[in-house]
Amino acid sequence: MRDRINSIIEEVQTLIKVCYPNFNFKISYLTIFSQSDTDFQSLRSTMQEMGQESHANNGYKYKLNSPIKYFDEQIDLLRIRKPDIHRKEIGCADLIYEKADYNELRAIALEKGFDIVVRKDYEMIELSDLKINVYAYLVNSGKIKLI
């Protein structure tokens, strides 16, 4: 499990460097994309031993008993997403950023052609690259929503 989480963290850090090389972000919330029903049940079983489970959008989230530390990241919240034929990546992450930087981050996103997902109460800049097997999000809502 830790190897899988570490791989997602590594990919997210690579994605950040590609998309926003002049910014430093931390992961606030990490999601593992399960690849099958069997994978989902196995991940869920393992995670139930690692933290407190609760329902989340498209799966379950876990408040970890002990944070996972890797590189310069400390993961306290983790979600397991149910299999989705539209999400073959290994995972995604919500990122922490300076709120005062959002307008600049948004302008860069528009310039580079990143997707900006608009919802009723918030919007998200989606960081992605075809060569990198994860997504990351900069959520702008006044507070970070767990999506």
Q: What is the pLDDT of residue 144?
A: 44
- Our CA dihedral for 24, 109, 117, 30, rounded to 10 degrees, sits at -20
pTM of the model: 0.92
The pLDDT of residue 141 is: 85
Q: In what order do the strands lie in the sheet with 91-96?
A: 51-56, 59-70, 73-81, 26-33, 91-96, 134-140, 123-127, 115-118
Residues 6+ apart with CB under 8 A from 48: 62
Provide the β-strand partners of residue 124: 117, 139
**Domains in the chain, CATH or no CATH each:** 2-140 (3.10.180.10)
**What is the pLDDT at residue 131?**
96
- Res. 146: pLDDT tops 50: no
For 105-140, the pLDDT digits (tens) are: 999 999 999 999 998 889 999 999 999 999 999 999
- Alpha-carbon gap, residue 55 to 62, rounded angstroms: 9
* pLDDT tens figures, 62-113: 999 999 999 899 999 999 999 999 888 999 999 999 999 999 999 999 999 9
Rounded Cα distance, 137 and 19, in Å: 11
Say if residue 59's pLDDT is above 80: yes
